[in-house]
Amino acid sequence: MLGCLTQKTTMTFRAGIIKRIHVNQFDIRRGEPTPLRVKVSSGNYVCHSVEIHGPSTVVYRPEKPLSCGAKCWVETTAEVEVLPMNRENDTG
């Protein structure tokens, strides 16, 4: 399941569950405005910006990538807020 957030949607994933956040390099090359992926047990979510409210770890694992092919990602069990593109403090 791949969910795309609208420009006015904010979604929060609760603390305690594993979240993996990575940048889709193909979307970057195509100039897509939402190149980030937040992977949780309930599905994958496409977004523009993410705030992590707690500790996180950057993982680089080329010998065992994620199922999508990502070799580098941010992993956390902290609360994660997926932000809309039109927030007042966004610069892009």
Q: For 52-91, how does the pLDDT look when each residue is reduced to its tens digit (9 = 90+)?
A: 999 999 999 999 999 989 999 999 999 999 986 654 444 4
Name the token pair of 25. 């390099």
92 located within any domain: no
Name the token pair of 74. 């941010």
Confidence label for 9 from pLDDT (cuts 50, 70 and 90): confident
46 located within any domain: yes
91 located within any domain: no
pLDDT tens track for 28-46: 999 988 899 999 998 888 8
Phi, psi of 81 (to 5 degrees): -110, 125
Question: Where in the sequence is the domain holding 65, given as residue range(s)?
Answer: 2-83
- SS3 helix, strand, coil % of the chain, rounded to 5? 5, 45, 50
1 pLDDT higher than 80: no
Phi, psi of 38 (to 5 degrees): -110, 115
Whole-prediction pTM value? 0.81
